A and B are shown apart, each in its own frame.
Chain A
């Protein structure tokens, strides 16, 4: 197995709160949980599994850069004025009588307008590519106006960022050859909506590659991209649903199936042994939770790419039978080319799905053999039974931690890009309540990731619950307490919780990562 159990000597000299020599040896006994990146509970023991997985900023940085560049030219205020002016026109345009077919929604109706979050994708020629609600045809003139706005501002060497009007935020993301527009009444900041637009962009790239997109639009500017995306819209629909409900997408992190580290070790090494020349990543999923990931040496997977894989597998029942073989572009890895993924479930009706990512499109039977080897090897070991047992229980209950006033929490280790969260307690069993709790977390998240004034910690008493967030360079922690608790209780609870996570980190996180 893995001999290298030593922690890497990452420089953490500046501002370390915990003594470094403790960390090298007895992690679990460390008196203060590490507040520094790389020492927090759940930090990977070898180099991380993902590329620069730590930040939410990571996702929005690119767009920000482009904007800053644009700001160098010309005045921003001017652009915003124009924006608001044209906004009024836009609202009028929405009243155009539509020709509504499928998706069964009248885009002129109040119901359509009152959706919490709209997403539109169009080409630079103004052709509709995707809308979350209603049909693209019915929205072609609306999208034309959106494109007109973008080009109008661009003509002045500016980039349109957003329009704020009537309690509504309209955020633009130009990613040539696509333009993405998000409209929301609920979002606290532009940045949040921008992050979601980025995800939608990457979803489309993962289906087609950027190279192909560019090629198509260079040849034919007014190409109707829906032809190529036909039958795949539900992937974007599902991604948008996940963005509202999955903490992993909010935290830019992935959660693991809680499992004894010895069992996980056996599974990982079985997967490691089933290798093949062109195999780059082997990923074992249990529903939306990661069991293990083995990668080629020096190749990293970005959490966005992993979420796209989760989305692909989770959205489609078509992998349920037989063995799937599909091209997939992992845009954070390389926007230019396709990988080829072998996707299959380990057993019928099981949650365990194995994804083998190869560079060769003719590699199907090699991948199929790898899967068989892995399965043959694993099924002889007791770890397979342990894995199946672990699948039966949903997750873990917050009661196990022994903090009566704590209802729920989300803890993310920044350096590993992994997070852990207990199952929802009884109070939050209904979809509605879960949605409300997620919205509260989203609020906390936007406070601690505010673009200009990010907060380190945040505590808010509410009528139905008290919420708290705490961010250090090592972790992000979001908590939900009963409304009867006090701030002092909350703070002592945090310490107790961090100790508990440290104690359980072997089970909750993947601490060592294998390569072929």
Chain B
């Protein structure tokens, strides 16, 4: 079975639940007291999609202001970006729009964008209407989904949607491989030692 590596980065304001989404997807676990990510965290997970294996190389970036300047390093060369906001925080949705703008201007041209409204388990405290977010996502041709990392709602679905939208195989090298150094290098000379 063919293996494709897909670089995916998560962007969004601090505290919206980027790491929780990744943990839920990769480890199927949830920790309510997770510390803010420092710098960025890298994880992988391989899933089967149709007759291919998709290995997601996931860059979970820190949302804090001081790491802002590092973001291009992570979205550069990404096949997809998941931009996360918190449905209980209007402000985080505004931040999301800025991320979309930045990606349009500086990101890779064919990047698949997914808009994820996290913490949908807290709908009592909702500040961002699902319809507004959906309309916005449609207007930028992005995947839209409301998620809950806590209750494992729609987490795998985001990644499946991404798999669907990624152009078919022969373009693989083109979409995810070129022009960035932060991709895994293919040639690994692994010597066995004494």
Q: Which residue of B lies closest to A341 (CB)?
A: B39
Give Cα A200 to B46, complex, Å. 43
Q: Is the CB of A324 within 8 A of B66?
A: no
Q: Is B35 an interface residue (CB 8 A)?
A: yes
Give Cα A361 to B40, complex, Å. 12
Q: Which residue of A lies closest to B63 (CB)?
A: A231
Q: Is the CB of B36 within 8 A of A325?
A: no
Complex interface: chain B residues within 8 A of A319 (CB):
38, 41
Choice from A227, A315, A323, A327 contacting B70 with Cβ under 8 Å: A327
Complex interface: chain A residues within 8 A of B63 (CB):
231
Q: Is the CB of B31 within 8 A of A273?
A: no
Complex interface: chain B residues within 8 A of A273 (CB):
193
Q: Which residue of B lies closest to A380 (CB)?
A: B193
Q: Is B181 an interface residue (CB 8 A)?
A: yes
Complex interface: chain A residues within 8 A of B37 (CB):
318, 324
Q: Chain A 384-424, CB within 8 Å of chain B: the 1/0 string? A: 00000000000000000000000000000000000000000
Q: Is the CB of B182 within 8 A of A318?
A: no
Given A228-B66, A230-B64, A362-B73, are A325 and B31 also a contact pair (CB < 8 Å)? no
Q: Which residue of A lies closest to B23 (CB)?
A: A321
Q: Is the CB of B14 within 8 A of A312?
A: no
Q: Is A495 an interface residue (CB 8 A)?
A: no
Q: Is the CB of A373 within 8 A of B190?
A: yes
Q: Chain A 302-316, CB within 8 Å of chain B: the 1/0 string? A: 000000000010011
Choice from A207, A317, A368, A377 contacting B42 with Cβ under 8 Å: A368
Q: Chain A 361-373, CB within 8 Å of chain B: the 1/0 string? A: 1101100110001
Give Cα A227 to B13, complex, Å. 13
Chain B: minimal CB distance from A144 (Å): 24
Given A318-B19, A362-B182, A364-B182, are A230 and B39 also a contact pair (CB < 8 Å)? no
Choice from B15, B38, B73, B188 contacting A316 with Cβ under 8 Å: B38
Q: Which residue of B lies closest to A348 (CB)?
A: B27
Choice from B14, B39, B188 contacting A325 with Cβ under 8 Å: B39
Give Cα A73 to B22, complex, Å. 59
Complex interface: chain B residues within 8 A of A99 (CB):
none
Q: Is A234 an interface residue (CB 8 A)?
A: yes
Given A208-B66, A321-B26, are A365 and B41 also a contact pair (CB < 8 Å)? no
Give Cα A323 to B22, complex, Å. 13
Q: Is B60 an interface residue (CB 8 A)?
A: yes
Chain B: minimal CB distance from A373 (Å): 7
Q: Which residue of A lies closest to B191 (CB)?
A: A373
Q: Is A229 an interface residue (CB 8 A)?
A: yes
Give Cα A207 to B182, complex, Å. 23
Q: Is the CB of A322 within 8 A of B35?
A: no
Given A369-B188, A377-B193, A380-B193, are A361 and B27 also a contact pair (CB < 8 Å)? no
Q: Which residue of B lies closest to A226 (CB)?
A: B65
Q: Which of B31-80 contact A (CB under 8 A)?
A: 31, 33-43, 60, 62-67, 70, 73
Residue of B26, B37, B184, B185 with highest tally of chain A CB at under 10 A: B37
Q: Is the CB of B40 within 8 A of A232?
A: no
Q: How many A-B residue pairs lie within 8 Å, measured between CB atoms?
A: 90
Q: Is the CB of A321 within 8 A of B64?
A: no
User: Dominant SS at the B interface?
Assistant: loop
Q: Is the CB of B38 within 8 A of A228?
A: no
Q: Chain A 212-255, CB within 8 Å of chain B: the 1/0 string? A: 00000000000000011111101000000000000000000000
Q: Which residue of A lies closest to B57 (CB)?
A: A365
Give Cα A208 to B40, complex, Å. 16
Q: Which residue of B lies closest to A315 (CB)?
A: B35
Q: Which residue of A lies closest to B74 (CB)?
A: A325
Choice from B27, B66, B181, B185 contacting A232 with Cβ under 8 Å: B66
Chain A: minimal CB distance from B81 (Å): 18
Given A318-B19, A327-B70, A364-B182, are A231 and B43 also a contact pair (CB < 8 Å)? no
Chain B: minimal CB distance from A33 (Å): 38
Give Cα A227 to B67, complex, Å. 11
Chain B: minimal CB distance from A354 (Å): 14
Q: Is A299 an interface residue (CB 8 A)?
A: no
Complex interface: chain B residues within 8 A of A486 (CB):
none
Give Cα A377 to B67, complex, Å. 34
Q: Which residue of B lies closest to A322 (CB)?
A: B43
Complex interface: chain B residues within 8 A of A317 (CB):
31, 33-35
Complex interface: chain A residues within 8 A of B181 (CB):
362
Q: Is the CB of A365 within 8 A of B184?
A: yes
Complex interface: chain B residues within 8 A of A362 (CB):
73, 181-182
Q: Which residue of A lies closest to B68 (CB)?
A: A228
Q: Is the CB of B65 within 8 A of A324?
A: no
Choice from A229, A341, A361, A380 contacting B66 with Cβ under 8 Å: A229
Complex interface: chain B residues within 8 A of A16 (CB):
none
Q: Which of A330-374 contact B (CB under 8 A)?
A: 341, 361-362, 364-365, 368-369, 373
Give Cα A380 to B66, complex, Å. 41
Chain A: minimal CB distance from B149 (Å): 13
Q: Is the CB of B35 within 8 A of A318?
A: yes
Q: Is the CB of B14 within 8 A of A326?
A: no
Q: Is the CB of A365 within 8 A of B65?
A: no
Given A315-B35, A362-B181, A373-B190, are A227 and B42 also a contact pair (CB < 8 Å)? no
Complex interface: chain B residues within 8 A of A377 (CB):
193
Q: Is the CB of A321 within 8 A of B42?
A: no
Chain A: minimal CB distance from B44 (Å): 8
27 contacts between A and B (CB under 8 A): A230-B14, A230-B66, A231-B14, A232-B64, A273-B193, A315-B35, A317-B34, A318-B34, A318-B35, A318-B36, A318-B37, A318-B38, A318-B41, A319-B41, A321-B26, A321-B41, A323-B41, A323-B43, A324-B40, A324-B41, A325-B39, A326-B39, A362-B182, A365-B182, A373-B190, A376-B190, A377-B193
Using A318-B35, A324-B40, A364-B182 as known contacts, list a sample of 5 further A-B pairs with CB atoms less than 8 Å apart, ordered by residue number in A.
A230-B66, A325-B42, A326-B39, A362-B182, A364-B42
Nearest 6 Cβ contacts at the A-B interface: A326-B39, A322-B43, A231-B64, A362-B181, A316-B35, A231-B36
